[in-house]
Chains A and B, each alone.
Chain A
Amino acid sequence: MGIQFNDETFRNDYTYRNSPAGLARFPFPFPEDEYMYSVNIEPHTPGRKGSVFEHSFDVDEHYVSEMKDRARVLAEDPLRCQSLPHMTLAGWDLLELIMESKARDYPDMFELHKNGNKWRWVNKPLGIDDTFTFLDESTLPYGPMEYITRQAQGDFTLQDQREDNLWIEAGMVTSQADWSLDFDIGMSFHEWHAPVPLAGGMGIFDRALKFLLKLQYGAPVRRFNWTMTVDPRLDTAPETYPKWGPSKTTLNMDNVGARQHLRVELQTLYRLPRSNAIVFPIRCYLISFQDLVTVPKWGRRLHRVLQGLPQELAEYKGFARNRELLTNWLAQYDDGAPTSPGWWAED
Chain B
Amino acid sequence: MSGAPRIHARVAEVIPVNALIKTFRFVPLDGGPVPPFSGGSHIVVEMNDNGTRRLNPYSLMSDPSDTSGYSISVRRDDFGRGGSLFMHNHVEPGMEMTISYPVNLFPEDARAKKHLLIAGGIGITPFIAQMAQMDAQNANFELHYAVQSRSLGQFGDELKRSYDNRVHLYYDDEGIFIDIPKLLRGQPLGTHVYTCGPKGMINAVHDLAEKAGWPKGAVHSEEFLAPPVGEPFEVELARSGKTITVGAVQSLLEAMEANGVDAPYLCRGGACGQCECDVLALEGDIEHNDHWLTPEQRASGKKIMPCVSRFSGERLVLDL
Interface residues of A (CB under 8 A from B): 43, 86-87, 89, 135, 160-163, 210, 214, 216-219, 273-276
Contact = CB atoms under 8 A, between A and B. Distances in A.
Contact of A275 (B3, B38, B136): B38
Contact of B110 (A43, A86, A163, A218): A86
Contacts of B266: 214, 216
List the 3 closest A-B pairs by CB distance, nearest first: A86-B110, A218-B5, A276-B38
Contacts of A216: 1, 4-5, 101, 103, 266
B36 A274 contact: yes
A335 B31 CA distance: 59
Nearest to B67: A273
Interface in B204-232: 216-217
Interface residues of B, number: 28
B127 interface: no
Which of the listed residues A43, A87, A161, A218 has the most CB atoms from chain B within 10 Å of its own CB?
A218
Interface of B: 1, 3-5, 35-38, 41, 64-65, 101-104, 107, 109-111, 133, 136-137, 216-217, 266, 272-274
Which of the listed residues B1, B5, B37, B110 has the most CB atoms from chain A within 10 Å of its own CB?
B110
> For chain A, what secondary structure do more than half of its interface residues adopt (helix, strand, loop), or is it mixed?
loop
A273 B217 contact: no
B210 to A, nearest CB: 15
Given A273-B35, A273-B102, A274-B36, A161 B107 contact: yes
Contacts of B133: 274
Nearest to A273: B36
A214 B3 CA distance: 12
Contact of B107 (A210, A219, A276): A276
Contacts of B110: 86-87, 89, 160, 275
Nearest to A275: B38
Contacts of A217: 35, 37, 101-103
Given A162-B109, A274-B64, A219 B3 contact: yes
Given A162-B217, A218-B5, A219-B1, A274 B37 contact: yes
Contacts of B111: 86
Contact of A273 (B1, B5, B37, B216): B37
A296 B35 CA distance: 45
A218 B1 contact: no
A214 B107 CA distance: 13
13 contacts: A89-B137, A135-B136, A162-B109, A163-B216, A214-B266, A214-B273, A216-B1, A217-B37, A217-B103, A218-B4, A219-B5, A274-B133, A276-B38
Given A216-B5, A276-B38, 10 more contacts: A86-B111, A135-B136, A162-B217, A216-B4, A216-B103, A217-B103, A218-B35, A218-B101, A273-B102, A275-B110
Nearest to B5: A218
Nearest to A161: B107
A140 to B, nearest CB: 17
Nearest to B64: A274
A273 B107 contact: no
Nearest to B266: A214
Contacts of A273: 35-38, 102
Contacts of B103: 216-217
